[in-house]
């Protein structure tokens, strides 16, 4: 049952996500649209490996102004372990974790096909996915437009833009000063 404009928007996004791998998760500030892109483990000739990737499109709502901010949160963990490639009995474990937060304006497209031995001992594709962040973002933006919501830049995005513009202004001032000094022979 929806009670406010934020609940109606969340329900509209959930309806659009129906039948897709996306799920809507309510939060105190609005909701997240989450997709588990991949969660796989496999075996190779000299060890085992795994990959887990989760993307959340975080939506913060201002119900009074009917505005939303959209921030993408990408989390990825990769690991592999086994013996040294030379065959020497030297155990190894390599792991990496990555968290990337984009501010609603960055688009990612990723395709991954990995072959190996699955957990049941069968050879084949153990990782097979295609991911485009624009898909989840468009689910949110289409529902928002349909319900009269406007998207605005979040605080981190506004700060990033201000820092970028300040750096550009500083580069122009320094470049202009150096050009003037060079033309007057004082450099």
The answer, yes or no, to whether residue 44 has pLDDT greater than 80, is no
Q: Three-state SS string across the chain, please? A: CCCCHHHHHHHHHHHHHCCCCEEEEEECCEEEEEEEEEEEEEECCCEEEEEEEEEEEEEEEECCCCEEEEEEEEEEEEEEEEECCCCCCCEEEEEEEEEEEECCCCCCEEEEEEEEECCCCCEEEEEEEEEEHHHHHHHHHHHHHHCCCEECCCHHHHHHHHHHHHHHHHHHHHHHHHHHHHHCCCC
How confident is the model at residue 15, as a pLDDT? 96
pLDDT in tens, 69-85: 998 888 889 888 887 66
The answer, yes or no, to whether residue 2 has pLDDT greater than 60, is no
| Residue with the larger pLDDT of the pair 18 and 159 | 18
pLDDT in tens, 95-142: 788 777 765 566 788 898 988 888 888 898 888 889 898 899 999 999
* Contacts (Cβ under 8 Å, ≥6 apart) of 184: none
What is the C-alpha separation between 39 and 50, in angstroms, rounded? Answer: 8
Average pLDDT over residues 143-162: 81
Average pLDDT over residues 20-49: 89
The answer, yes or no, to whether residue 18 has pLDDT greater than 80, is yes
Nearest Cα neighbor of 21 from 8, 34, 10 is 34
| Residue with the larger pLDDT of the pair 106 and 20 | 20
What is the C-alpha separation between 126 and 23, in angstroms, rounded? Answer: 23
How confident is the model at residue 166, as a pLDDT? 84
Cα–chain center distance at 132? 10
What is the C-alpha separation between 22 and 51, in angstroms, rounded? Answer: 19
pLDDT band at 28 (very low <50, low <70, confident <90, very high): very high
Mean per-residue pLDDT over the chain, rounded: 85
CB 51 within 8 A of CB 37: no
């Amino acid at each position: 049952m929806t009670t406010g404009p934020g609940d109606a928007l969340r329900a509209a996004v959930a309806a659009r996500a129906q039948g897709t791998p996306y799920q809507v998760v309510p939060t105190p500030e609005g909701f997240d649209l989450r997709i588990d892109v991949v969660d796989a483990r496999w075996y190779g000739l000299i060890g085992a490996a795994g990959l887990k990737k989760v993307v959340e499109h975080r939506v913060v709502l201002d119900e009074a102004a009917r505005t939303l901010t959209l921030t993408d949160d990408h989390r990825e963990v990769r690991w592999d372990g086994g013996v040294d490639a030379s065959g020497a009995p030297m155990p190894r474990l390599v792991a990496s974790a990555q968290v990337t937060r984009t501010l609603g304006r960055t688009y990612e497209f990723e395709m991954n096909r990995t072959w190996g031995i699955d957990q049941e001992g069968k050879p084949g594709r153990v990782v097979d996915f295609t991911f485009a962040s624009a898909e989840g973002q468009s689910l949110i933006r289409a529902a928002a437009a349909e319900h009269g919501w406007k998207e605005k830049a979040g605080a981190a995005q506004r700060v990033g833009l201000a820092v970028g513009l300040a750096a550009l202004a500083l580069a122009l001032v320094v470049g202009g000063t150096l050009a003037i000094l060079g033309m007057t022979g004082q450099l």
